[in-house]
């Protein structure tokens, strides 16, 4: 096992491992992780295409079993940590997650525990990523930071005084659903108007591009893309080809994101905001307007104090690492 | 000394007392408090009318000295706790407070300590009020709550996991300055547009009334009030006389406040939001629209979970009590 630094060969006593699972709106990533944060084996399945959560867990079980066998069998696995949108650490349930196919209250930790016959613990996917960043990434040694995941949706994990803010009920940190533009864009998953997620997610970027293409008739590379095929990646590709409309899409997205970040700063005054996920690949195209508009909306006492950092962890790793870190904190 | 429960008579060993000072945009309240939270003596001076902070501290010293003498002299006072807008617990300074007459960075704790020859500790006025509520008021036994002060300005103190959120630099909890209406009303103190404070403060209520009176020509009791004499109290008095325009002012204020509270809930998921200060005297006139619009903007997972409570402490007491509580935590 060349990937594992701490495996003792020629002995039955092998260091325990943890499984980390990151359930996203589009894909579910998972890996087997050692105590030092090395992801030994990892893979991915689609979250979509399973109307029933049981069928999703069946597929997850099949895929993970292959990795478990490679790692030395279930006896080496200490437990399973799961990050999922609207995941609740206290109850182990996923409740009314707008971006997942399963509605209502899903006892996800229990279902996984029963299927794998291993102890399982659950938290919000972005909380898991924040723990991953704090233990192994850009937030190492920070006691006050906010992690924002810019993927299919917008998630967040907030750390203050060195601890995750879970809130009274375990659901704190739903910053993607804060209202940034009152009476703004409709979010079909929540039924609310003007949330950060409706603008600053991959979906939001695509919608902004469609709106801008419809609103005026300036030339744009994006007009060549068939309707229904346009996505945030294509907007990015056009923007680096210097397409003005595509650049305007990121400028607009950064403006709204920056304004929202200013509000978050005035809440918990973090040392840094760590951005993570697909949209951060647009680099300065989105970071520059985000920084500018954050500063523009901050009162003087916060001016030029708060760093905006992009996660350096491999995209899938932060959440897998964070989820797996939950396992080491489990009681025996 | 009939007000003090723990004073031992006939002995030189008397229980120590603490001074609590609450510096607001308009008035500064202060009191002498025992360990059980009894405010033994209290008084007030105006914060305005002192261009130099030294002249303010001179007047504060004169007024407080009378109370100190009544309490048995400076030997009985353990220390001074101060709550002030933009007050920083870590540095003891007040920095760029938009609602105070003194600009820049003021080393307030040090100035007070030197003048009184007593140890002094400083925090944000709303943080002090939050501590007061947690120790003696509506937030007793709560570990996760947000305190919002609706006075001349809008202040806030946030408690999560049983601890005040101070942030990386000590300035967390400036919720009054979060942007609620992008490109909205100008705030002359901060130079920013659309902050919660520009709407949901006493000043904001007055401005909303003036705007509504100018925008249309419906009849209103408020038209009889000379320009420059209109204030939030007069709007309240007209509203309880069933004046439609005055009622609309509170409806509008509650709408914006409710939307902002929804965002705060999605940040830290508190058990309750405690409202405090002058505007809460409007009761259901402002609470009803606030509650409705908070619920309207919350995603399902938070629906009908978060209590909006009005502080039961005598208005001046929460901040004095909270500020004085800082003294008991001082190191010797």
pLDDT on residue B207: 97
Residues of B with Cβ-Cβ distance to A127 under 8 angstroms: none
The secondary structure element, H or E, covering residue A66 is: helix A53-70
pLDDT on residue A70: 95
One domain for residues A85 and A212: no
* In contact, B151 and B201? CB cutoff 8 Å: yes
Q: Which contacts of A239-244 are long-range, i.e. CB under 8 A and separated by 24 or more positions? A: A239/A282, A239/A285, A240/A285, A244/A218, A244/A220
pLDDT on residue A331: 65
Question: Which residues, at least 6 apart from B241, have a Cβ–Cβ distance to it below 8 Å?
Answer: B221
Q: What does the alpha-carbon distance between residue A45 and residue A55 come to, in Å, rounded to a whole number?
A: 12
ipTM: 0.87
Question: What are B218-235's pLDDT values in tens digits?
Answer: 999 999 999 789 999 999
Residues of B with Cβ-Cβ distance to A124 under 8 angstroms: none
Task: Name the minimum distance, in Å, from the CA of A84 to any CA of chain B.
Answer: 14
User: Which residue is closest to B87 within chain A, CA to CA?
Assistant: A301
One domain for residues A301 and A164: yes
One domain for residues B93 and B153: no
Query: Looking at A36-50, B4-18, B46-60, which range is the least confident one?
Result: B4-18
CB pair distance less than 8 Å for B269 and A178: no
The CATH number linked to A48 is 3.30.420.40
* Residue B247 resides in a domain: yes
One domain for residues A171 and A214: yes
DSSP A172-187: ---GGGSBSSTT-SEE
User: Which residue is closest to B263 within chain A, CA to CA?
Assistant: A178
Question: Which residue's structure tokens are 């009378």?
Answer: B66
Q: What does the alpha-carbon distance between residue A113 and residue B209 come to, in Å, rounded to a whole number?
A: 59
Q: What percent of chain B has pLDDT over 70?
A: 95
CB pair distance less than 8 Å for B95 and A301: yes
Can you tell me the mean pLDDT for B246-260?
98
CB pair distance less than 8 Å for B160 and A172: yes
Residue ranges of chain A whose CB lies within 8 Å of a chain B CB = 86, 95-96, 98, 143-144, 158, 160-161, 163, 165-175, 177-182, 190, 192, 259, 262-264, 266-271, 297, 299-302, 305
CB pair distance less than 8 Å for A263 and B170: no
One domain for residues B307 and B209: yes
One domain for residues A96 and A33: yes
- The residue segments making up the domain with residue A66 are 17-130+316-328
Q: Using 50, 70 and 90 to split pLDDT, how confident is the model at B331?
A: low
One domain for residues B166 and B68: no
Residue ranges of chain B whose CB lies within 8 Å of a chain A CB = 86, 95-96, 98, 143-144, 158, 160-161, 163, 165-175, 177-182, 190, 192, 259, 262-264, 266-271, 297, 299-302, 305
pLDDT on residue A315: 64
Residue B6 pLDDT > 60, yes or no?
no
pLDDT on residue A6: 42
One domain for residues A213 and A162: yes
One domain for residues B282 and B169: yes
* Residue A171 resides in a domain: yes
Which runs of E-coded beta strand occur in chain A?
A: 17-23, 27-33, 39-46, 77-84, 94-95, 105-106, 120-124, 145-150, 154-160, 163-164, 186-187, 192-193, 272-276, 307-310
Based on the structure, what is the number of domains in chain B? 2
* Residue A7 resides in a domain: no
Q: What does the alpha-carbon distance between residue A309 and residue A147 come to, in Å, rounded to a whole number?
A: 9
Please write down the HEC assignment for all residues of chain B: CCCCCCCCCCCCCCCCEEEEEEECCCEEEEEEECCCCCEEEEEEEECCCCCCHHHHHHHHHHHHHHHHHHCCCHHHEEEEEEEECCECCCCCCEECCCCCCCCCEECHHHHHHHHHCCCEEEEEHHHHHHHHHHHHCCCCCCCCEEEEEECCCEEEEEEECCEECCCCCCCCCCHHHCECCCCCCEECCCCEECECHHHHCHHHHHHHHHHHHHHCCCCCHHHHCCCCCCCHHHHHHHHHCCCHHHHHHHHHHHHHHHHHHHHHHHHHCCCEEEEECHHHHHCHHHHHHHHHHHHHHCCHHHCCCCEEEECCCCHHHHHHHHHHHHHHCCCC
pLDDT on residue B316: 62
Question: What are B120-143's pLDDT values in tens digits?
Answer: 999 988 898 898 899 888 998 899
Residues of B with Cβ-Cβ distance to A175 under 8 angstroms: 266-267
* Residue A11 resides in a domain: no
CB pair distance less than 8 Å for A182 and B143: no
* Residue A125 resides in a domain: yes
Which of B123, B172, B192 to probe the A interface (max A CBs under 10 A)? B172
CA A72 to chain centre: 29
Q: If you ran DSSP here, which 8-state letter would residue A96 be given?
A: S
Helices A108-116 and A53-70, interaxial angle, to 10°?
50
Task: Name the minimum distance, in Å, from the CA of A92 to any CA of chain B.
Answer: 14
What's the whole-model pTM score? 0.88
Each residue's pLDDT expressed in tens, for chain A with a length of 332 residues: 344 444 444 444 578 999 999 998 889 999 999 988 899 999 999 999 898 999 999 999 999 999 999 999 999 999 999 999 889 999 999 998 878 999 899 999 999 999 999 999 999 888 988 988 998 889 988 999 999 999 888 999 999 999 999 999 999 999 999 999 999 999 998 999 999 999 999 999 999 999 999 998 999 999 999 978 999 999 999 999 999 999 999 999 999 999 999 999 999 999 999 999 889 999 999 999 999 999 999 999 999 999 999 998 876 687 799 899 889 877 65
* Residue A323 resides in a domain: yes
Question: What are B178-208's pLDDT values in tens digits?
Answer: 999 999 999 998 999 999 999 999 999 999 9
* In contact, A202 and A278? CB cutoff 8 Å: yes
* Residue B161 resides in a domain: yes
One domain for residues B165 and B301: yes
CB pair distance less than 8 Å for B168 and A144: yes
One domain for residues A298 and A150: yes
Which of B263, B298, B304 to probe the A interface (max A CBs under 10 A)? B263
CA B258 to chain centre: 18
Vertex A134, ends A69 and A310: CA angle to 5°? 100
CB pair distance less than 8 Å for B267 and A170: no
Q: What does the alpha-carbon distance between residue A104 and residue A108 come to, in Å, rounded to a whole number?
A: 12
pLDDT on residue A280: 94
Task: Name the minimum distance, in Å, from the CA of A272 to any CA of chain B.
Answer: 9
Task: Name the minimum distance, in Å, from the CA of A175 to any CA of chain B.
Answer: 6
* Residue B54 resides in a domain: yes
Please tell me which of the candidates A98, A165, A190 has its beta carbon nearest to residue B160: A165
Q: What does the alpha-carbon distance between residue A16 and residue A227 come to, in Å, rounded to a whole number?
A: 50
Residues of A with Cβ-Cβ distance to B299 under 8 angstroms: 96, 98, 174, 177, 190, 192
Residue B161's CB: how many other CB atoms inside 10 A? 17
User: Which residue is closest to B182 within chain A, CA to CA?
Assistant: A181
Indicate if the alpha-carbon torsion angle B205, B211, B217, B222 is positive or negative.
positive
CB pair distance less than 8 Å for B266 and A144: no
pLDDT on residue B332: 55
Residues of A with Cβ-Cβ distance to B98 under 8 angstroms: 299
State whether residue A84 is helix, strand or coil: strand
For A196, B66, B77, the CA distances from B118, given in Å and listed in that order, are 48, 16, 8
Provide Rg for chain A, Cα atoms: 20
CB pair distance less than 8 Å for A165 and B270: no
Residue B91 pLDDT > 90, yes or no?
yes
One domain for residues B192 and B301: yes
Residues of B with Cβ-Cβ distance to A169 under 8 angstroms: 269, 305
Residues of B with Cβ-Cβ distance to A96 under 8 angstroms: 299-301
Residues of B with Cβ-Cβ distance to A95 under 8 angstroms: 300-301
Q: What does the alpha-carbon distance between residue A256 and residue A25 come to, in Å, rounded to a whole number?
A: 22
């Amino acid at each position: 096992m060349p990937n594992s630094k701490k495996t003792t060969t020629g002995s039955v006593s092998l260091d325990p491992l943890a499984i980390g699972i990151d359930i996203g709106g589009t894909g579910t990533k998972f890996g087997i992780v050692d105590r030092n944060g090395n992801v030994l084996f990892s893979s991915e399945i689609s979250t979509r295409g399973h109307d029933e959560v049981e069928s999703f867990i069946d597929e997850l079980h099949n895929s993970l079993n292959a990795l478990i066998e490679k790692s030395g069998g279930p006896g080496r696995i200490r437990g399973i940590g799961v990050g999922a949108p609207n995941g609740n650490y206290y109850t182990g349930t996923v409740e009314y997650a707008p971006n997942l196919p399963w509605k209502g209250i899903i006892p996800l930790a229990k279902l996984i525990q029963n299927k794998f016959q291993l102890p399982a613990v659950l938290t919000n996917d972005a909380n898991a990523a924040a723990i991953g960043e704090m233990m192994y990434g850009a937030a190492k040694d920070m006691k006050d930071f906010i992690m924002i995941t810019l993927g299919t949706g917008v998630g967040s994990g907030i750390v203050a005084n060195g601890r995750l803010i879970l809130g009274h009920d375990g659901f704190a940190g739903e910053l993607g659903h804060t209202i940034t533009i009152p009476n703004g864009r409709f979010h079909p998953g929540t039924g609310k108007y003007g949330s950060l997620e409706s603008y600053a997610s991959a979906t939001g970027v695509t919608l902004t591009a469609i709106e801008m293409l419809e609103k005026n008739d300036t030339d744009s590379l994006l007009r060549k893309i068939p309707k229904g095929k346009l996505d945030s990646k294509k907007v990015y590709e056009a923007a680096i080809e210097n397409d003005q409309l595509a650049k305007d899409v990121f400028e607009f997205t950064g403006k709204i994101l920056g304004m929202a970040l200013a509000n978050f700063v005035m809440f918990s005054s973090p040392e840094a905001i760590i951005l993570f996920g697909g949209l951060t690949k647009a680099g300065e195209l989105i970071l520059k307007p985000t920084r500018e508009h954050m500063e523009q909306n901050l009162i003087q006492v916060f001016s030029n104090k708060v760093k905006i950092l992009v996660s350096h962890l491999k995209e899938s790793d932060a959440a897998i690492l964070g989820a797996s870190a939950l396992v080491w904190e489990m009681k025996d």
